[in-house]
Amino acid sequence: MIAPRLKTTDSGDVIDLSRIGGSDIGVLIGASPASYGSEWDLQQRILHGVDRLESAESQEWMRLGSLLEPVIGTEAARRLGLIAHDAPAIVPDAPRWLRATPDYELSDGTAVGTVALLECKKVHSSKRSEWSRSIPDNITAQVQWTLHALAYASEEPVPYAIVAALFGTQSLDLHRVDYDPNIGAELFTVASEWWDRHIVGAQPCEPPAERLGPQEHPTGEVREATEGEDYLIVELRRLELQSAGNEDRIAEIRSALLFAAGDAAEIESRHGNLRVRNVKGSTTTAWAKVVNDLRPAVDATVIAEAAEKHTKHGKGRRELRCSWKD
């Protein structure tokens, strides 16, 4: 049973990070840039509550994007001649994995209802030429995911969404994405199969190469455990006190904690302390293989003389071997 994990964003929205959201689906279909994380990051977040560490620059960018969201939404609605309303999050009881958080709903001021959805993006100014050719695939997937989630939850499909992209602080471009229920259904299938395999089945996702190294903590630092690490420490202790049968899960949690520790010497938790120890690997030289590699380049006489020099001849002995009869 995966417990809900609620987080309040900079814009004041409360989202459940134990579910798959629109910004996650691009990761699952391989359409998102590395800055969005990996399947391994998503699995760690849902199963263990371990958040991916963001750089200070990335955190600031996301914070500014959240703060600018109302400004982008208001200006986009004005240009369209529509009214922007806050949109409720889509978090149905089933399927358990589904979450969608549209930025705004657009209406024309009548009782007709929602005309379209509005998705607001703050984009680096250098990306405008790329966007002029086509919206990035991960953004398109996010919008189709949200439109399909709305159709699933309310049974009232919204025909399209507007993506309002603010490039730097100078240009605001509006892009229309028409709802395609076939694409939405395919995205839901990808999410459902991934959830069954990696969350329900707990099949480990492979960490990307850049995440295998230690994360940025000063060498030798002793720091307090994060909320996610604290959860893992409790789970590790519980499993290790139980009877055998949890070895794979214990190994997985230990691996996650060791990775999260990075260069820290110790992680302090109210449930126990974790000390990180660097163990020097043993070195073994396969001398027989070394000799075989050198043999073609060395005179046979030299090899024979070296072999005789380093050969110890044991003293012979007499043995009595018996073969008994019944």
Q: What does pTM read for this prediction? A: 0.65
Question: Which among 181, 214, 231 is positioned nearest to 18, based on CA atoms?
Answer: 231
Identify the pLDDT of residue 95.
93
Dmax (CA) for the chain in angstroms is 109
Residue 185 has pLDDT above 60, yes or no: yes
- The residue assigned the tokens 């230990």 is 254
143-166 residue pLDDT tens = 999 999 999 998 788 999 999 999
3-state helix, strand, coil in the chain (%, to 5): 45, 15, 40
Structure tokens at 175: 């892009």
23-44 residue pLDDT tens = 999 999 999 888 788 898 899 8
Q: Rounded to the nearest 5 degrees, what angle is found at the Cα of 185, between the Cα atoms of 48 and 149? A: 65
CATH 3.90.320.10 range(s) for the chain read 6-200
Report the DSSP beta bridge partners of residue 118.
104, 162
297-321 residue pLDDT tens = 777 777 777 777 777 777 766 555 5
Q: Is 6-200 assigned to CATH 3.60.15.10? A: no
Identify the pLDDT of residue 30.
93
- The residue assigned the tokens 């660097």 is 278
Structure tokens at 282: 């043993």
